[in-house]
Amino acid sequence: MKKTFLKHEHFQQLLDALKEAGFACIGPQVRDGAIIYDTLTTSTQLPWGLRDFQEPGSYRLEKTAEYKAFSWANGPQALKPYLFKAEETLWRVKRDEAGKFIFEAEYAKAPAIAFIGARACDLAALAIQDKVFIEAKQIDIRYQQRRESLLIIAVNCTYASKNCFCVSAGTGPKVNHAYDLVLTEVDQGFVVQSGSERGAAILAKLTLTPASLLQIQQGALEIQQAANMQSKKIPFNNTRALGLALMNKLDHPRWLDVAERCLSCGNCTLVCPTCFCHSERDKPSLEATSSEHVREWDSCFTKGHSYITGKVIRPDTQSRYRQWLTHKVATWFEQFDVSGCVGCGRCITWCPVGIDLTEELSAMVEDFHET
Amino acid sequence: MKLDPYLPKSAEIMARFQESPTIFSVQCRFSDAKWQQQFCFQPGQFNILYLYGVGEVAISIASDPTCQDSFLHTIRVVGRVTRALAHLKVGDQVGIRGPFGSFWPLNDAIGHDVLIITGGLGCAPTIAAINYLLLRPNDYGHITILQGIKHSDDFIFKDKYAAWQAMPNTTLFIAANEASHDWLGIRGYVTDKLASLSFPEKNTLVFICGPEIMMQVALDILLQKNFPEKAVYFSLERNMECALGHCGHCQLGGLFVCKDGPIFAYPTIKALFNRPGF
Ligand SMILES: Cc1cc2nc3c(=O)[nH]c(=O)nc-3n(C[C@H](O)[C@H](O)[C@H](O)COP(=O)(O)OP(=O)(O)OC[C@H]3O[C@@H](n4cnc5c(N)ncnc54)[C@H](O)[C@@H]3O)c2cc1C
Ligand code: SF4
Ligand code: SF4
Ligand code: FES
Beta-carbon-side half-sphere exposure of residue A212 (alpha carbons within 13 Å) = 8
Do B184 and B218 fall into the same domain?
A: yes
Q: Average pLDDT for residues A2-11, to the nearest whole number?
A: 94
Does residue B3 lie within any of the structural domains? no
Question: Is pLDDT of A350 > 90?
Answer: yes
CB contact under 8 A, B78 and A335: no
Question: Is pLDDT of A369 > 60?
Answer: no
Does residue B80 lie within any of the structural domains? yes
Choose between B166 and A336: higher pLDDT. A336
Do B170 and B220 fall into the same domain?
A: yes
* pTM for the structure as a whole: 0.95
Do B82 and B162 fall into the same domain?
A: no
Please tell me the predicted confidence (pLDDT) of residue A109: 82
Does residue B1 lie within any of the structural domains? no
- Termini Cα distance of chain A: 41
Do B74 and B202 fall into the same domain?
A: no
Contacts of A128 (CB under 8 A, 6+ apart): A274, A336, A338, A340, A342
Question: How many angstroms is it from A187 CA to the middle of ligand 2?
Answer: 31
Angle at which helix A254-261 crosses helix A357-365, to 10 degrees, equals 160
Choose between A369 and A110: higher pLDDT. A110
Burial class (CB in 10 A: 0-12, 13-18, 19+), B158: exposed
Does residue B217 lie within any of the structural domains? yes
Q: Please give the Cα distance from B167 to B133 (Å, whole number).
A: 11
Q: Average pLDDT for residues A164-184, to the nearest whole number?
A: 96
Task: Express each pLDDT in A262-275 by its tens digit.
Answer: 999 999 999 999 99
Protein residue whose Cα sits closest to atom 6 of ligand 2: A272
Question: How many angstroms is it from B246 CA to the middle of ligand 2?
Answer: 19
User: B78: distance to nearest CA of chain A, Å?
Assistant: 7
Q: Report how far Cα B181 is from the mean position of its chain's Cα atoms.
A: 30
Contact present, B144 and B197 (Cβ < 8 Å): yes
Do B64 and B173 fall into the same domain?
A: no
Protein residue whose Cα sits closest to atom 4 of ligand 1: B59
Q: Are strands A151-155 and B55-60 parallel, antiparallel or unpaired?
A: unpaired
Task: Express each pLDDT in A70-122 by its tens digit.
Answer: 999 999 998 999 999 999 999 999 988 888 999 999 997 888 999 999 999 99
Question: Domain range holding B27?
Answer: 9-100
Contacts of A105 in chain B (CB under 8 A): 4, 6-7
Q: Average pLDDT for residues A133-162, to the nearest whole number?
A: 96
CATH number at residue B81: 2.40.30.10
Q: Report how far Cα B278 is from the mean position of its chain's Cα atoms.
A: 21
Q: How many domains does chain B divide into?
A: 2
Contacts of B4 in chain A (CB under 8 A): 91, 105, 141
Contact present, B75 and B105 (Cβ < 8 Å): no
Question: How many angstroms is it from B245 CA to the middle of ligand 2?
Answer: 21
Q: Average pLDDT for residues A358-368, to the nearest whole number?
A: 89
- Termini Cα distance of chain B: 37
**Secondary structure (H, E, C), A106-148:** CCCCCCCEEEEEECHHHHHHHHHHHHHHCCCCCCCHHHHHHHH
Does residue B129 lie within any of the structural domains? yes
Question: Is pLDDT of A351 > 60?
Answer: yes
Do B265 and B153 fall into the same domain?
A: yes
DSSP line for A291-358: EEEEEEE--TTSSGGGEETTEESS-SHHHHHHHHHHIIIIIHHHHHSS-S-----HHHHT-TT---HH
Question: Is pLDDT of A291 > 60?
Answer: yes
Does residue B223 lie within any of the structural domains? yes
Do B63 and B201 fall into the same domain?
A: no
Please tell me the predicted confidence (pLDDT) of residue A366: 80
Do B133 and B239 fall into the same domain?
A: yes
The phi and psi torsions of B249 (rounded to 5 degrees) equal -70, -30
Contacts of A284 in chain B (CB under 8 A): 53
Task: Express each pLDDT in B117-128 by its tens digit.
Answer: 998 765 788 888
Do B234 and B178 fall into the same domain?
A: yes
Q: Report the phi/psi class of residue B111: left, alpha or beta, with left for phi > 0 and alpha for psi in -120 to 50.
A: left
Q: Which stretch of A86-90, A238-242, A328-332, B126-130 has the lowest confidence by average pLDDT? A: B126-130
Do B144 and B57 fall into the same domain?
A: no
Question: How many angstroms is it from B241 CA to the middle of ligand 1?
Answer: 10
Instruction: Flag residues of chain B having pLDDT under 50.
Output: none
Contacts of B166 (CB under 8 A, 6+ apart): none
Domain boundary among B46, B78, B100: B100
Contact present, A329 and A37 (Cβ < 8 Å): no
Q: Average pLDDT for residues A271-290, to the nearest whole number?
A: 91
Provide the ipTM. Answer: 0.94
Domain spans of chain A?
4-228, 235-365
Q: Read off the pLDDT band of A371 (50, 70, 90).
A: very low
Longest dimension (CA), chain A: 74
Residue B76 CB–ligand 1 contact under 6 Å: yes
Residue B73's DSSP bridge partners are B26
Which residues in chain A (95-114) have CB-CB distances under 8 A to chain B? 95, 99-103, 105
Do B156 and B225 fall into the same domain?
A: yes
Q: Please give the Cα distance from B35 to B37 (Å, whole number).
A: 5
User: B138: distance to nearest CA of chain A, Å?
Assistant: 36
Residue B248 CB–ligand 4 contact under 6 Å: yes
Contacts of B78 in chain A (CB under 8 A): 309-310
CATH number at residue B214: 3.40.50.80
Residue B252 CB–ligand 4 contact under 6 Å: no
Please tell me the predicted confidence (pLDDT) of residue B149: 87
Residue A162 CB–ligand 3 contact under 6 Å: no
Give the ligand at the shortest distance from the Cα of A276. Answer: 3
Do B17 and B63 fall into the same domain?
A: yes
Task: Express each pLDDT in A22-54 by its tens digit.
Answer: 999 999 999 999 999 999 999 999 999 999 999
Give how far Cα A344 sits from Cα of A131, A243, A255, Å. 19, 18, 23
Domain boundary among B41, B74, B100: B100
Give the ligand at the shortest distance from the Cα of B99. Answer: 1
Question: Is pLDDT of A1 > 70?
Answer: no
Domain boundary among B100, B129, B162: B100
Does residue B71 lie within any of the structural domains? yes
Contact present, A271 and A363 (Cβ < 8 Å): no
Does residue B2 lie within any of the structural domains? no
